[in-house]
Structure 1
Amino acid sequence: MASYPPIPRSRENDYTAEAAAARRAFATEQTGVALEHVGAHSFDPAVLPGNIEHFTGVAQIPIGLAGPLLVDGEHAQGEFYVPLATTEGTLVASYNRGMKLLRAAGGVKVTVVDDAMQRAPVFIFDSAREARDFATWLDLHFGEIKAAAEATTSTGRLRDVERYLAGRFCFTRFNYTTGDAAGQNMTGKATLAACEWIRARHPELRHYTLEANLATDKKHSHINLLRTRGKRVVAEALIPDEVMRAVMNVSTDRVYRARQVATLGGQLSGLANNGSHSANGITAMFIACGQDVANVAESHAAMVYTELRENGDYYYSITMPALIVATYGGGTGLPTQRECLELLGCYGQGTVRKFAEIVGATVLCGEISLGAAIVAEEWVSAHDTYGRNRP
């Protein structure tokens, strides 16, 4: 078996400028590539334990501001300047234009309608009958199971346990609220404690697996369209025809007809999102604000519904059933990410729903802006103007 030189690591303290420099030198020695820009950063590596291993440097992604974004939420009220981290030209300009439109129309109304983070263990029995009886047993002992789970966390709360029977298996989804944290690790630890409590008290249980893929971590799933994962957020707006014409150079009736056609096209292709590009705004905000970017796989799912009113007003709503966000823990406390959250007044405890509302409003602005650009035949020209960095 071939041997390879190990990546340098300090057993005493691996989060120092010297340790990072040693790894950059190692990379240069192995590849011949100098990491001059990767090594340039403004924070002390000592803040990174728990966020990364083998720290070598940084990926510098440009951040642009869009706004002001006018939000009418239950937690986010007023105007916000939104940091968007991206290398895609036209993205910030498009979201900024959507914010201009929605501000002129009176803002974006946003509502968090549900909140749940899951861990999904499967319990294995000798027969389907025992699995069925176990599902009833869970109901009878829910209070004790809840206590065992919540003993591991100061903020997580077990809401309920869904049950799905198949063969000799009882698949479950343990649903929690997780405060200002995204909660995947929190729910894993809490559910492990609950499962161990169950195993000690249910003699017919043969085995369990802590995660049976029914939570669908970092993957889109239809169950989360229906059941919620993270925050279920609805953003909606009413846009007068004269405002649409003034800002977007197109009428509401043309935009509405195009949306109907796009929804049919999405149905033909089997999309999980009948909107335009929610992943763009979500990803740019996630990178800027220290979110787990892989959660875009779940968070991008969306359901768009529109109406053209008799007076020409255009009603537009987007429902995001699995928006996974945090304002505490994870990457939110790192220096640049914290600054971006602070721009929005969303750093720290008690702010996660405010942040979810701002994300939802931002997504809606981007959806309307892109949709109007396509109808007004400005989409390609805008990318030619803002999205090219080569002659």
Structure 2
Amino acid sequence: MARIPRSKEDDYTDDMARARRDFVEEQTGVAMPHTGSYSFDAATTRGNIEHFTGVCQIPLGLAGPVLVNGEAASGEFYVPMTTTEGTLVGSYNRGMRLTREAGGITVSVIDDVMQRAPVFIFANAREARDFGAWLEANLDAVRAAAEATTSVGKLQFVQQFAAARFRYLRFNYSTGDAAGQNMCGRATRAACLWIAEHYPGPMERWVLSGNMDTDKKHSQINTLYSRGKRVVAECVIPDALLREQMHVSAEQFFVQRHISNIGAQMAGSSNNGSHAANGIAAVFIATGQDEANVAESQAAIVHSELTPSGDLYYSITLPSLIVATHGGGTGLPTQRECLEVLGCFGKGKARKLAEIIGATVLCGELSLGAAVLADEWVSSHEQYGRNR
């Protein structure tokens, strides 16, 4: 069996990337000239990928400006969006124009926590119950053990859930401008080691994840308790503006929201809106976020009302938006450029990025919802997409 080329001395060089592309050609007969065309030093990918071979170039578009009335993000922003789906950037751009002319989007970060969820295993349910009481009484010491591993992460609280002879815990941390999954894993492991050493009662064992953190997958517990940032974006769109730009009325939007709610409920969907994942994924890839976190981040609660004057109040709640402006892939050259375009690179900017993404997602919901109602959905793809 042929092995992928590697260097024990330094695997992150242009020469090693070229060796792996040559290997691919030898094994498959496929040359990779475009994959091998990149502008940054291969060494910058250390810690972000293994067996660095080249790049996959995805088209980058610019939408905006979106007018954000946030607490961390205030003003107009041009949003980099990476996608291969025709009409996507254009649709978000259309929603941004609508909301900008309506006075902008108010965005609030309501909660901000990241979890690791170990499980402790006992001989029976009573032992598990007694352990839970001891943990509550010793939480300050547990917190000290966890926070000793990080200068940024702070253990906010620990939730407990009982089933059979198991005690499932959710350690909830604030993580600064990092997404924080690895930070929380390291801190929680230290806490669990301290617990195992100091707990006076019987215990069979513990496992660092009992799968209640639901990393990289949606869960109802995240919708209720948040994972990452809980973001609410809301705006009021005048009926006249909707009719002029979107060819639908506020009342049509309002009625359709109720119909769509029933459809989402019947389907058991984690999102009663249209396509939050589109905007989130496009901005995530552009700005160096962990793209697998789209699985959690796309969950959404969309709500609308008719105001007494007949205009449309529209909001979207993202209960588990996981973003970072420091660490991970955010420091890679093109990703850093996109974050800098938004004024969101580096420490102290994660909430700003979350607010911009929340506003962006709302624009996409309004635009696609209007396109469906006005029967312009298919024609838009025919004109701008790959349907032709």
TM-score, normalization by structure 2: 0.99
- 2:11 matches 1:14: yes
Q: Deviations over 1:177-234 (max 9, x none)?
A: 0000000000000000000000001142220000010000001000101010000000
Out of 211, 215, 222, the residue aligned to residue 224 of structure 1 is 222
Gaps of 5+ in 1: none
For 1:81, what is the secondary structure of its paired residue?
A: strand
Q: How far off its partner does 1:167 sit?
A: 1.1
Out of 67, 83, 104, the residue aligned to residue 107 of structure 1 is 104
Identify the residue that residue 37 of structure 2 maps to in structure 1.
40
Percent of aligned pairs with the same residue? Answer: 64
Q: Following superposition of structure 1 onto structure 2, how do residues 58-69 of structure 1 map, counting pairs within 5 Å?
A: 58-69=55-66
Q: Deviations over 1:81-100 (max 9, x none)?
A: 00000000000000000000
Q: How far off its partner does 1:78 sit?
A: 0.2
Letter in 2 for 1:240: P
Q: Deviations over 1:148-201 (max 9, x none)?
A: 000000100000100001111110000000000000000000000000000001
Q: How far off its partner does 1:247 sit?
A: 1.3
Identify the residue that residue 208 of structure 1 maps to in structure 2.
206
Q: Deviations over 1:238-272 (max 9, x none)?
A: 00001111211221111221221111111111111
Out of 68, 82, 97, the residue aligned to residue 85 of structure 1 is 82
Identify the residue that residue 382 of structure 2 maps to in structure 1.
384
For 1:58, what is the secondary structure of its paired residue?
A: coil
Bigger shift: residues 253-262 or 145-154: 253-262
Native 8 Å contact 2:48 2:328 kept in 1: yes
Whole-Å separation in 2 of the counterparts to 1:372 and 1:258: 10
Q: How far off its partner does 1:310 sit?
A: 2.7
Identify the residue that residue 332 of structure 2 maps to in structure 1.
334
Whole-Å separation in 2 of the counterparts to 1:64 and 1:246: 26
- 2:360 matches 1:350: no
Q: Deviations over 1:310-352 (max 9, x none)?
A: 3111000111100000000000000000000000000000000
TM-score, normalization by structure 1: 0.98
Identify the residue that residue 164 of structure 1 maps to in structure 2.
161
Gaps of 5+ in 2: none
Whole-Å separation in 1 of the counterparts to 2:82 and 2:57: 9
Identify the residue that residue 270 of structure 2 maps to in structure 1.
272
Identify the residue that residue 184 of structure 1 maps to in structure 2.
181
Identify the residue that residue 51 of structure 1 maps to in structure 2.
48
For 1:116, what is the secondary structure of its paired residue?
A: strand
Q: How far off its partner does 1:299 sit?
A: 0.2
Q: How far off its partner does 1:59 sit?
A: 0.5
Whole-Å separation in 1 of the counterparts to 2:122 and 2:91: 54
Letter in 1 for 2:176: G
Native 8 Å contact 2:257 2:303 kept in 1: no
Identify the residue that residue 281 of structure 1 maps to in structure 2.
279
Native 8 Å contact 2:250 2:310 kept in 1: yes
Q: How far off its partner does 1:48 sit?
A: 1.1
Out of 308, 311, 319, the residue aligned to residue 310 of structure 1 is 308
Greater than 2 Å deviation, 4+ residue runs: none
